[in-house]
Amino acid sequence: MKAGSDIEKIDSGFAREVASASGADLFACYQCEKCTNGCPVTFAMDYGPHQIIRMLQLGLSEELAHANTPWVCASCETCFTRCPQQIEIPELMDHLKHRVLRQGEKPVEGVIAAFHEAFLDNIRRFGRINETVLITAFQLRSAKAGKGFDAKEAFRNLKLGLGMLKRGRLAFVPKKTGGKEAVRNLFEKKD
């Protein structure tokens, strides 16, 4: 967070907590909308990034817990690059996603959340992506998330996976990485 922030002046415990945990200086935002105008996925979002910041400033925690925006965010960093105040919106979106998961609430975008969790679990276990395990874990988690088991999609993925295996683009046995412990430690540090 930048020095001289007005954060202490705002009477919103929720906003203060999110700002401090995510490192995003929420109260430096003056609603210019440059973030939202550059975001490539606003068409699929309930609220644009600038609206999410405003909702945070106002302490609308309930509405934020049910917004799909953090789940739809692709972490492309366009908003951060365009923001005149250098507000770290991608980190903010990540924080909001983890907050929902930590509180045991059901994510509004169950399938995206299933991928998010399968992806992070994969990195935590192997220190790098193992696509074969990731695809299988995602298939199982998304079925559990309410989508149900889609036999057609599973068959399509299996066919695709076999083709990739044949071309050496997938590995059954995870490749070893020297930084496995370091990666695990990063997960331990994450709030």
Positions 53 through 92 that interact with ligand SF4 (CB under 6 A): 53, 73-79, 82-85, 87, 89-90
118 belongs to the binding site for ligand SF4 (CB under 6 A):
no
Q: Quote the CA–CA distance of 174 and 150 in Å, as a whole number.
A: 26
Number of residues that bind ligand SF4 (CB under 6 A): 28
Tell me the residue length of the chain: 191
Which is nearer to ligand SF4, 20 or 31 (by Cβ)?
31
Stretch of 46-54, 59-67, 99-107, 126-134 contacting ligand SF4, by CB under 6 A: 46-54
Nearer CB in complex with ligand SF4: 83/137: 83
C-beta closer to ligand SF4: residue 74 or 158:
74
Kindly list the residues in this chain that would bind ligand SF4 in the complex (CB under 6 A). Answer: 29-35, 38-39, 41, 49-50, 53, 73-79, 82-85, 87, 89-90, 93
